[in-house]
Chain A
Amino acid sequence: MEISRIQLLKRLKSLAFVTLTFGFVGLTNFTKAQGEALFKSKCATCHQTHKNSTGPKLFQVRDKWAAGGAKEGSIFMWVNNWQNAVAADPYAAEVSKWSPTAMAAFPDLKKEDITAIFDWIDAQPDPATVTNTGGPMDPSKTEMDPAEEEGSVGWIWIVMGVIFIVVILAVGGVRRQLKIATSDNPETQEKLTYAEELRSIAWKYRLWVGLGSLVTVIAIVVTLFQSLYRINVMEEYQPSQPIAFPHDRHAGVNGIDCKYCHNSVTKSKSAGIPSVNVCMNCHKQIDGTGKPFAGEIKKIYAAAGWDLSSGAGKYTGHTKPIVWNKVHVLPDHVYFNHSQHVVVGGVDCKQCHGDMKTMNETAKVQPVSELNKIEGNVQLTKPTLTMGWCIECHGKKDVTIGNGKNAYYDEIHRRLKKDPALYKKYYKDGKVSVSELGGWECAKCHY
């Protein structure tokens, strides 16, 4: 069937209309989510919604500017590059005196983006008036350590076992005494010692005793090996820390990206414990006055040499590095590179460290069972931080090669194709795993 030009145009029009409608509906939802995402990625390191931090609080900041007599649109100019705004608007110049710390420029944020951010901020309730769902960190809270708990359960079993054995022996002894007492034969009284009697009983029930011994021996050997295999397994390892640092508050409630503090994770083999100056970016403002954790923040000030006595606070120059206790310790003969996994492998921090957003105590090595509960994690069976755990993941995780996104892997893909048999073998399960590219080889991690 042939359609006329007008018909075609009409159809196109309706198509466009439908697309636009759906697009718009999608857009409103999208902007909300986008506002939040943008706030967390661009602003949250310095700004909070309802509280001043490195930067001023942003709740209803547009109204504030309007009330202060700012020119129309200068706030957008400010976000793009505050210096331009200062030049154009006296109010902005006033705002620039708020803090000596200059704001970063965000030239890539469009007006819609900035509006989305502000819309999202203004829609946020004041956390001071609502109950905190995350739960603030309370260092005085005494919660029983799961490992300790399990340990005490073990002790109960041992004690009960000992009591049980004592009871059996006692009952047996009483029974024997009774037997001897009731016996008519005086010879039995003299000849059969306790041991001899046991022996004769054992002989009588030799099948059961034999089987029992066998089971016991096997059980002991199995237990021994299992306990040997647990040596140096770091699961549940949770050393004490000089500062009770709550990850849930920083990464969870405040939504600070892991990479903001552990910023060498994309560059180096070590993710890096944040240096004190990174803490001070925010904690210059957040001193925790009146909060139970104020003492912990004071420790940061002591380390940074930050003197609050003079009001606004200043650096004294007397610094004292914080000595942390390392949680995720790998032996010296293992080479592990964070940037390899995070940047190249695209592995999320959660895969190995668990969901730090919910961790309201000092960091610990999450057992593999906990890690497996996290959505999107590769499911593993071996204990966390053991070699078995590493290579299990290397066997399961796939490497995207030959998709034109990484020229290095494209070249590897091209070379692999030269060996069709091997290529077929690798792609049998529809993917190329890390191990197939050599991730199980000794000298990939040991040198």
Chain B
Amino acid sequence: MTRKYWKGLEELKETPEFIKHKEQEFPNQQTIEEFLSDDKLSETSTARRDFLKFLGFSVAAATLAACEAPVTKVVPYVNKPEDVTPGMPTWYTSTYYDGNSYASILVKTREARPIFIKGNKDFGFTKGGVNPQIVASVLGLYDGERLTKPTAGGTVASWSSIDKAVSSALKSAKSVTLLTNTVISPSMKRAIAEMSVAMNGEAGSKFQHIQYDAVSYAGMREANMSNFGARIIPSYDFSKAKTIVSVDADFLNSWLLSTEFTGQYAATRNPDAAWMSKHIQFETVMSITGSNADYRGMIKPSEQATVLAYIIKGLGGNPGVSADLSKADPSTKAAADVAIKALKKSKKESLVVSGSNNIGVQQLTNKLNNLLQAYGTTIDLSNPINLFQSEDAQVAKFVKDVVAGNGPDVLLMMDVNPVYTLPNGDAFAKGLKKIKTSVAISAYADETAALCSYVCPGFHALESWSDFEAKASEYAVSQPTIRPLGEDTASALESLLVWNGSAVRGGKDSSVAYDYIKATFAAKFPTADFAMTVHNSVMPQAIVPSTLVYADAKIAALPKAADVEVSFYQKAGIGTGAHANNPWLQELPDPITKVTWDNYVTMNPVEMKAKGFVTTYDQEHGLNLTTVKVNGKSVTLPVYPLPGQALNTIGIALGYGRGANGEKIGKAAFQTKEYGGHELNDAGNRKPIGANVYAMVTTGATFEYSAAATVGAAEGLYPIAATQIHHTVMGRHSIVRETTLGIYQNNDKEAYNPAHTLQKLDAHGNHVEAPVSEFDLWDAHPVEKIGHRWGISIDLSSCIGCGTCLIACQSENNVPVVGKDEVRRGREMHWLRIDRYFASDEEAAVGTRKDKETFSYDKAELAAENPKVVHMPLMCHHCNHAPCETVCPVAATTHSNEGLNQMAYNRCIGTRYCANNCPYKVRRFNWFNYPAYKKFTEVNPAQDDLGRMVLNPDVTVRTRGVMEKCSLCVQRIQATKLTAKKEAREIIDGEFATACSDACPTHAITVGDWNDLKSMIRSKSENNRAYQALEEVGVKPNVWYQVKVRNEENSLLTAIQSEADHASNKQHH
């Protein structure tokens, strides 16, 4: 296997646009000639001299205005709460659960405003693991379109009137259905049980509780029902798995409890540990998990069962279904053979997971795991996961009834949006209108709530008390971190209790829910201290060892094959669509495609070429639209060239197309115009972003997230805003370094991580190779011995490219959101980006071209069908010999004696020389006044009073015309130093964490004081895998990378790197 890395197909093919733009940091700048020749210019009424007059006047006016010092008000507390010190953050433990992700978290508040969320590393089984959605959820708290008052029939009503109406409706109704997402709250379960008892008595059937998740995992539960007799999902422990085989399970991004799995997985990816896991992925769409795999097979969704059967057969089992992989992509059989070999070796220390919701596929997975005896080692049946309890058959029957007009008399809905997430949402909406009394407990008047008779706004997770039991082994609590922002909102738990007649409304500062949760806790743990549990956020629970035994069962119906199959997947940012109104997540570049603000059809570029789709795009040239038809439903979306996509398949992400009828779900969920304002459709409604493909989900025994599809011909072009083709690496392949575990273990550093050398003349006038560090243009900064020297080390083996760091950085550093149009122009403002490099067969590894003479980008194109991927987070490198500093005409960017490249915004005059001179292209220019300019009103949260509350008061909000970049979280450095000084102690290694290192679920980012000889960063920077990107440029950065190590066989790379090793040894001896 040989490969080369490239940033995009444009780079791979060197299209004319690419070549034109690759030298430019900021593409497509209008020349002065172009500007002056603009016809519109002469139409303007302002003459040049008038303009100068205006200019003069405004300068004078501004000067005069500046003379008057504004009066700043300061309003102290009347009664200061004891635990709040103005100017100091207060951290609260809490728990995050939105029906899709779960994590133990820490919430940072300033003056009682939550401003930052990170994982709780000390408590909870998620061990600090979070995903971008969880970190970004703090912004959702401040969404201006969240409901603030309850409504009845669309008009604002009082709680008392609604409570009266709902209670009496519940009493008089013949049938009541409570439709919720999976309830993991013991208190909520208790309230629902009480409700059931009150209405059903001992054996009535009036009240029914149905759990319905946007994305169902019912297939797993049903498969376990057939194999173990229990409808459970067991716990998985990836940290014990020496071989991981995943069949379309994106367990590092969206599958099941990814917040727990990422940390476990990363622990097995350390090449310096006793062993390193081997990860084989079979999937349709290139996912985050697939991009991190050692081996990756491209399969159609219908081939999942075949792959599992092939492996079962290979291990000597009898799959009972076809195990013929001859029709599959060659990569699949190769990877499956590797999997068989590895599984045979690791036996019960293996784990096979499947992302399918097909019962049959899950049964095969169970069979394989049983064959490997993984139950009891990597799979724990005695500690089941309580998430995703959706029972699809029950849901389907209920939906059928509602659609047919036979719905219940009263329908209570809580945290569900069936009109949006059901395959037949439109029909359900019609049926919903026929229901006598429909009540929605929802934060927004979303697709479903907007149609209900009563809408009862609940609390945001950060405003309410709640308890959780995500796993049998752990009880968890969440506590409010802010007084409810909504004028007249109420806890969902309280609403249920009130309607059931077991509580009375407590108003805004009600303690009904709190008391109820405390009572639940007291009943559960009679001797435990609730306050201490809130402090820790979790409480371990004893689990009963499982007695479940595997039994073979008849394999249920498997997905049918089709010519073209579509796979529906979840993106890292948007997920199921619940956070579609979060501008941070919309602007989060997709970890694989790097596209922001859009939904698209993914297709392998090889196939796209054959079908006549354009496969390259840039700022001005978009991608072709096409119409995809599934089960008679169709959507029109752009087609994105995604290497690694299985041939004859396409992928479309769920979670887009929210608010199709202009529902008030948050202004960032809709398309915006070039100069601000929302795009409107013919009906005058705001246009949603992307299209909703839940409607295409296959309804069988369970909801299945794949289907047969037909793809139409290429239509017109559609602009795409991706961060992918910007910030090129100029083909300098000293950026990413990669090796295999075998080479790493058996060879010297010179093999896989050779030092950069340059030629110089020695004393005798001979040319000799000397290390780059010997060549210096500048005087050294005195940072190596005195004071601190802050640095970052990023382990490319651990980094999975999830994007959590990027969102954490955005949250910590008040990074503005700029919207699709500006991202398209390459003006995104993220201080930290994650470069994703695809590999091709033209190179053995980065910088080690297979054959330098015959290397060709054109040839590489054909080999890019199923590339390996490297994710590389890149932020300011804080170079000790920073090229940006020397070119600043006003000394706005300077070096500190702690090794930081500091940026003084108030000095900056915006020449942008620094950005031009930065070899890493990490500087960002404020083209606009993002917190005020109308173009960004819909996207930038800093533009409204509510959204502004999320800003970190310790970091300046930058204005137009200044440069900005990663500051290495200097505000945190200063705070850490100050704490140490005040406590008269040295700084403890690990005490200082940047937002990115704090948030990283895989601990790939290490920060610290390099001058502290015992520090982690020091040892990381000096180990054999450490290298610096673009070291040969001689800028002496304070950022180190660790060579990526893949646990694979790569004979070509072995040959090349071993040869390099020998050559260097020869030179040395």
A residues lining the B interface (CB < 8 Å)? 228, 231-232, 234, 237, 239, 264, 267-270, 272-278, 303-305, 319-326, 329, 332-333, 335, 337, 339-340, 343-344, 405-412, 415-416, 418-419, 422, 437-438, 441-444, 446-447
0 or 1 for each of B74-106: is its CB under 8 Å from A? (1 = yes) = 111111100001111000000000000000000
Contacts of A437 in B (CB 8 A): 787, 897
Contact of A438 among B896, B955, B957 (CB under 8 A): B896
Interface size class of B (residues with CB under 8 A): 35 or more
When chains A and B are docked, how far (Å) is the Cα of A401 from the Cα of B839?
Answer: 53
When chains A and B are docked, how far (Å) is the Cα of A406 from the Cα of B986?
Answer: 8
Known A443-B902, A446-B956; contact A275-B76, beta-carbon cutoff 8 A:
yes
Q: Is the CB of B85 within 8 A of A264?
A: yes
When chains A and B are docked, how far (Å) is the Cα of A337 from the Cα of B87?
Answer: 9
When chains A and B are docked, how far (Å) is the Cα of A418 from the Cα of B784?
Answer: 10
When chains A and B are docked, how far (Å) is the Cα of A407 from the Cα of B977?
Answer: 12
A-B contact count (CB 8 A): 165
CB nearest neighbor in A for B984: A406
The answer, yes or no, to whether B894 is at the interface (CB within 8 Å) is yes
When chains A and B are docked, how far (Å) is the Cα of A437 from the Cα of B782?
Answer: 11
Known A270-B87, A407-B985, A441-B896; contact A326-B73, beta-carbon cutoff 8 A:
yes
Contacts of A339 in B (CB 8 A): 978, 982
CB nearest neighbor in A for B905: A333
The answer, yes or no, to whether B906 is at the interface (CB within 8 Å) is yes
The answer, yes or no, to whether B900 is at the interface (CB within 8 Å) is yes
When chains A and B are docked, how far (Å) is the Cα of A276 from the Cα of B984?
Answer: 33
Contacts of B63 in A (CB 8 A): 228, 231
The answer, yes or no, to whether B907 is at the interface (CB within 8 Å) is yes
Nearest 5 pairs of A and B residues by beta carbon: A443-B902, A268-B87, A442-B904, A275-B80, A275-B77
Q: Beyond the given A321-B76, A344-B981, A441-B894, could you list 17 further A-B residue pairs with CB under 8 A, ordered by the A residue number?
A: A239-B71, A277-B77, A304-B78, A324-B76, A333-B905, A335-B974, A407-B986, A408-B985, A410-B986, A416-B785, A442-B894, A442-B904, A442-B907, A443-B970, A446-B902, A446-B905, A447-B971
Q: Is the CB of A415 within 8 A of B75?
A: no
Q: Is the CB of A408 within 8 A of B981?
A: yes
**Distance (Å) between the CB of A391 and the closest chain B CB?**
13
Contacts of B984 in A (CB 8 A): 405-408
Known A269-B87, A275-B79; contact A412-B971, beta-carbon cutoff 8 A:
no
Q: Is the CB of B978 within 8 A of A344?
A: yes
Q: Is the CB of A332 within 8 A of B787?
A: no
When chains A and B are docked, how far (Å) is the Cα of A321 from the Cα of B77?
Answer: 7
**Distance (Å) between the CB of B100 and the closest chain A CB?**
35
Q: Is the CB of B66 within 8 A of A419?
A: no
Known A438-B897, A443-B967; contact A412-B906, beta-carbon cutoff 8 A:
no
When chains A and B are docked, how far (Å) is the Cα of A302 from the Cα of B427?
Answer: 60
CB nearest neighbor in A for B978: A340
The answer, yes or no, to whether B898 is at the interface (CB within 8 Å) is yes
Contact of B72 among A319, A329, A416 (CB under 8 A): A329
**Distance (Å) between the CB of A219 and the closest chain B CB?**
20
Most buried by B among A329, A416, A422, A442: A442
When chains A and B are docked, how far (Å) is the Cα of A329 from the Cα of B74?
Answer: 10
Q: Is the CB of B71 within 8 A of A443?
A: no
When chains A and B are docked, how far (Å) is the Cα of A149 from the Cα of B570?
Answer: 71
Q: Is the CB of B77 within 8 A of A443?
A: no
Sample (14) of A-B pairs whose CB atoms are under 8 Å apart: A267-B88, A323-B74, A325-B72, A329-B69, A339-B978, A343-B982, A407-B985, A408-B984, A412-B786, A419-B782, A437-B787, A442-B896, A443-B900, A443-B902
Q: Is the CB of A272 within 8 A of B896?
A: no
Contacts of B896 in A (CB 8 A): 438, 441-444
Known A333-B905, A437-B787; contact A276-B87, beta-carbon cutoff 8 A:
no
Contacts of B786 in A (CB 8 A): 412, 415-416, 418-419, 422
The answer, yes or no, to whether B987 is at the interface (CB within 8 Å) is yes
**Distance (Å) between the CB of A268 and the closest chain B CB?**
4
Contact of A273 among B69, B74, B980 (CB under 8 A): B74
Contact of B78 among A303, A325, A406, A416 (CB under 8 A): A303
Q: Is the CB of B897 within 8 A of A319?
A: no
CB nearest neighbor in B for A335: B954
When chains A and B are docked, how far (Å) is the Cα of A273 from the Cα of B88?
Answer: 15
The answer, yes or no, to whether B318 is at the interface (CB within 8 Å) is no
Which B955-985 residues sit within 8 Å CB-CB of chain A? Answer: 955-957, 967, 970-971, 974, 977-978, 980-982, 984-985
When chains A and B are docked, how far (Å) is the Cα of A93 from the Cα of B977?
Answer: 49
Which B38-88 residues sit within 8 Å CB-CB of chain A? Answer: 63, 66-67, 69, 71-80, 85-88
When chains A and B are docked, how far (Å) is the Cα of A50 from the Cα of B66?
Answer: 51
Contacts of A231 in B (CB 8 A): 63, 66-67
When chains A and B are docked, how far (Å) is the Cα of A45 from the Cα of B956?
Answer: 38
Known A322-B76, A441-B897, A447-B970; contact A232-B66, beta-carbon cutoff 8 A:
yes
